[in-house]
Amino acid sequence: MDTQSLQAFLAVADTQSFSRAAEQLHLTQPAVSKRIATLESQVGARLFDRIGRRIALTEAGNVLMPQARRILFTVEDSRRALANLSGQVGGKLTLATSHHIGLHRLPPLLKHYTQRHPEVELDLHFLDSEQAYQGVLDGTLEMAVVTLAPHPHEQLEVVELWRDRLCFTCAIDHPLANQTPAPQSLLSLADLCEFNCVMPGAKTFTGSLIEQRFIEAGLKLPVSMATNYLETLKMMCGVGLGWSLLPEKMIDSELVELEVDTAPIHRPLGYLVHTNRTLSNAARRMIEQLEAARQH
C-alpha cells in the first residue's frame, strides 16, 4: 500500500469528512475518494461507513488506523534521517506552540531562527498545550513549545525552559482590590472564594494546576467563566468579570496583584519531542536556539 493512500485515509479519519480531508491535503474530493477506494481494494475491506453526511470508521478502519500512523511515522523518520546526512538545514519544521508562548516568548527567537535558516519552511501551529502533546505523540508535529504537563510521559522527551509565576489579580475597581487586609496580613484562599473568578479551562494543564491548590485547601473555585486563552482571560478580569491568576508578565496598570496567603504557583514552560523520532536538522537547530534562550 502506498503512503499517499494512507495519508488520505488518516486525513478522512481525523476530519470525519472527505471534503475537509481534501482541503487539508490540497487535493480534489474525487482524488481523495479514489485513494481511499484503492486502499480498500488493497486491504480487502471497507474502511468507512458513509451514512448520509456522516463518516465513521468501520472495524477494519479502526484496526488499520494505528498501523497507518506507524507506517507513515517510520517513512517520514527515514526521510529525515537520510536528509540529515547532508548536514543541510532545510525542509519543513512542523512546530506547535500555545498562543501565550507564541505571543510573549517566541517572537524574537523565531525572527532570529528564520533569518539564520531561510531554507527552513516553518509550519507553525497555535494549539492548546494538551493538543500539542497529542500531536507530538501521534507524529503530526515534530516538536512543540508549550505549557508542560504535570506528569511525565514515557514516549516524550520534555525539557523545561522557563517558569511562569502565576499572580492572583483583579480589576482595579474590583471589591477585592479594596479589601486588602491590614498591613502584614494577607488575603486567604477562602477570602477569594467569596467572589466569582474567571479561569483557564479545568482540563488544561494550567487550569488543573490552579484547581489543585484550592482542592488541597478544601475549597471549590467559584468559576463563573472559563477560556483557554490567557489574553481573553486578562480582558475578562480587567473589565471586572472576576478575579483570576495570570502570568506575572501580563499584569499591567489595569490590574491589581493580590497578596494571598499561599505558596507561589508556578507553571513550567518548555519544549517536547518524541523519544523515538529522528529529529530533522531544522528541529535540532531550533532546540539549540531554545536552549541558548534559556541561558539568558
Q: Per the domain annotation, does 93 fall within a domain?
A: yes
Q: Do 173 and 49 belong to one domain?
A: no
pLDDT computed for residue 182 by the predictor = 53
Instruction: Please give the Cα distance from 292 to 166 (Å, whole number).
Output: 24
User: Per-residue pLDDT tens for 45-74?
Assistant: 999 988 777 888 999 989 998 888 888 878
Q: What is the pTM of this model?
A: 0.73
Q: Do 168 and 263 belong to one domain?
A: yes
Q: What is the CATH number of the domain that holds 180?
A: 3.40.190.290
Exposed e or buried b for every residue in 207-225, given b needs 16+ CB within 10 A?
A: bbbbbebbeeeeeebebee
Q: Do 154 and 166 belong to one domain?
A: no
Q: At 178, is the pLDDT very low, low, confident or very high (cuts 50, 70, 90)?
A: confident
- Given 18, 44, 72, the domain boundary residue is 72
Q: Per the domain annotation, does 40 fall within a domain?
A: yes
Give the phi and the psi of residue 155 in degrees, each rounded to 5: -95, 0
pLDDT, mean of residues 263-283: 92
Q: Do 64 and 103 belong to one domain?
A: no
Check if the beta carbon of residue 21 is closer than 8 Å to that of residue 8. yes
Instruction: Please give the Cα distance from 26 to 24 (Å, whole number).
Output: 6
H/E segment holding residue 50: strand 48-51
User: Per-residue pLDDT tens for 227-265?
Assistant: 999 999 999 999 999 999 999 999 999 999 999 999 999
Q: Per the domain annotation, does 172 fall within a domain?
A: yes
- Given 43, 72, 101, the domain boundary residue is 72
User: Per-residue pLDDT tens for 8-50?
Assistant: 998 898 888 888 899 888 899 999 999 999 999 999 999 998 8
Q: Per the domain annotation, does 78 fall within a domain?
A: no
Instruction: Please give the Cα distance from 57 to 280 (Å, whole number).
Output: 33
**Numbers of helices and strands, H then E, in the chain:** 11, 11
Q: Per the domain annotation, does 232 fall within a domain?
A: yes
pLDDT computed for residue 183 by the predictor = 53
Q: Per the domain annotation, does 77 fall within a domain?
A: no
With a CB cutoff of 8 Å and minimum separation 6, the contacts of 193 are 214, 219, 220, 221, 222
pLDDT computed for residue 85 by the predictor = 67
Print the domain residue range for 257: 162-267
Q: Per the domain annotation, does 64 fall within a domain?
A: yes
- Give, in order, the Cα–Cα distances in Å from 89 to each of 73, 189, 282, 284, 286: 20, 51, 5, 9, 10
Check if the beta carbon of residue 94 is closer than 8 Å to that of residue 145. no
Check if the beta carbon of residue 61 is closer than 8 Å to that of residue 10. no
- 180 has pLDDT over 60: no
> What's the helix, strand, coil split of the chain in %, to 5?
45, 25, 30
Q: Do 157 and 167 belong to one domain?
A: no
Q: Do 64 and 87 belong to one domain?
A: no
Q: What percent of the chain has pLDDT over 70?
A: 94
Q: What is the CATH number of the domain that holds 141?
A: 3.40.190.10
Q: Per the domain annotation, does 206 fall within a domain?
A: yes
Number of domains in the chain: 3
Q: Do 95 and 232 belong to one domain?
A: no
- Given 72, 92, 114, the domain boundary residue is 72
Q: Do 256 and 184 belong to one domain?
A: yes
Q: Considering the chain, what is the average pLDDT of its residues?
A: 89
Q: Do 146 and 220 belong to one domain?
A: no
Check if the beta carbon of residue 221 is closer than 8 Å to that of residue 211. yes
Q: Do 168 and 251 belong to one domain?
A: yes
With a CB cutoff of 8 Å and minimum separation 6, the contacts of 239 are 171
Identify the CA nearest to 141 among candidates 97, 199, 91, 185.
97
Q: Do 142 and 283 belong to one domain?
A: yes
Q: What is the CATH number of the domain that holds 36?
A: 1.10.10.10
Q: Do 92 and 149 belong to one domain?
A: yes
Give the SS3 label for residue 169: strand
